[in-house]
Amino acid sequence: MDRRRFGSAAPDVAVIGQGTWNIEKDRRPSAVAALRRGLDLGLTHIDTAEMYGAGAAEKLVGEAIAGRRDQVFLVSKVLPENASRQGTVAACERSLTRLKTDRLDCYLLHWPGEHPLEDTVEAFEQLRRDGKIRSWGVSNFDVNDLEAVWTLAGARLACNQVLYHLQERAIEHAVIPWCEQHGVAVVAYSPFGSGAFPGPRTKGGRVLQAIAEAHGATPRQVALAFIVQSRPLLAIPKAGRQEHVEDNAAAAGVRLSGTDIARIERAFPRGRRPRELPTL
Ligand code: NAP
């Protein structure tokens, strides 16, 4: 599994990881087994959040990583409404309890909110000094928000987790270039479009199928390979089933040619830069 730089404070991280939004709705033994299988296959970046299932996803992740904590790059997120100076620290401690661990590898502000960014950053820095988080980042931040964090904290900002998949390429306009220039990792969430993956009968789906066949791969592997082929991208597909996890892990071995990439870009055009950063 290829690894990629994750800001300046964190170690390099596997380019394909595992999301956990709605995982608490899956059959629990199957979801726990899927996450563990993912770890076996090198999908060591596990993304969760206090919001997911109101803490239930974190509890499930805690069960899956029990006894294997050191293999995991564990990420969780504070809700903007909790992201005050004291609230961020308290939210992190609740997450650590649910995850049954003493530290997060990265802690994110889930999206920009009402509390002053200075307060959230101060809380992140306190958590880092206290050893409760190793690094911190943001999610759903457009360039103007990123500039504001950079002014406050510079290279302590490790990553920006944003919506990115074949049918939603808006971050290519400004967010990816900004992050690359500043050494900030970009984590693509919903890399399969969160349930809207292009079907085999659509024009784009047929292009993916043809490229997949040429590589002995699946269309989803081609989609993941497209996302992580360029710096500074990592992806966190969610899969509650082992066979899906295995399929996703194998995407790391798919190397797309320049011609493949050009075909994908034509089939899924980037479009114009929208006024607001698309989110889910
Ligand atoms: P996604 O990863 O785009 O798609 C997940 C869906 O794809 C699930 O239905 C899953 O099925 C299916 N799937 C996964 N691998 C598959 C495969 N190889 N073959 C066929 N189907 C497959 O959706 P997402 O959950 O929205 O996004 C991923 C993660 O990003 C989330 O879980 C979360 O951690 C994060 N996220 C962050 C934000 C944010 O605001 N920061 C927002 C949304 C998501 P099964 O589960 O049945 O395997």
pLDDT, tens digit, for every residue of 109-151?
999 999 999 999 999 999 999 999 999 999 999 999 999 999 9
238 CA to centre of ligand 1 in angstroms? 3
Tell which atom from ligand 1 comes closest to the C-alpha of 244. Answer: 18
pLDDT for residue 9: 75
94 lines ligand 1 (CB under 6 A): no
Tell which atom from ligand 1 comes closest to the C-alpha of 192. Answer: 3
Percent of all residues in the chain with a pLDDT value above 70, rounded to a whole number: 100
248 lines ligand 1 (CB under 6 A): yes
Q: Is the pLDDT of residue 215 over 80?
A: yes
pLDDT for residue 231: 85
Which amino acids are annotated catalytic? 52
151 CA to centre of ligand 1 in angstroms? 33
280 lines ligand 1 (CB under 6 A): yes
241 CA to centre of ligand 1 in angstroms? 11
Average pLDDT over residues 201-217: 97
Percent of all residues in the chain with a pLDDT value above 90, rounded to a whole number: 97
Average pLDDT value for the chain:
97
Contacts made by residues 242-247, CB under 8 angstroms, sequence distance 24+: 242/30, 242/33, 242/34, 242/37, 244/34, 245/18, 245/34, 245/35, 245/37, 245/38, 245/41, 245/43, 246/37, 246/41, 247/218, 247/220, 247/221
Q: Is the pLDDT of residue 177 over 90?
A: yes
pLDDT for residue 254: 97
pLDDT for residue 272: 94
17 CA to centre of ligand 1 in angstroms? 11
Nearest CA to ligand 1 atom 24: 190
Q: Is the pLDDT of residue 10 over 90?
A: no
pLDDT for residue 211: 98
The band of 11, judged by pLDDT with boundaries at 50, 70 and 90, is confident
38 lines ligand 1 (CB under 6 A): no
- Rounded to whole angstroms, the Cα distance separating 266 from 237 reads 23
pLDDT for residue 8: 83
pLDDT for residue 162: 98
Average pLDDT over residues 52-72: 98
pLDDT for residue 230: 87
Average pLDDT over residues 55-77: 98
244 lines ligand 1 (CB under 6 A): yes
Average pLDDT over residues 18-26: 98
Average pLDDT over residues 230-242: 95
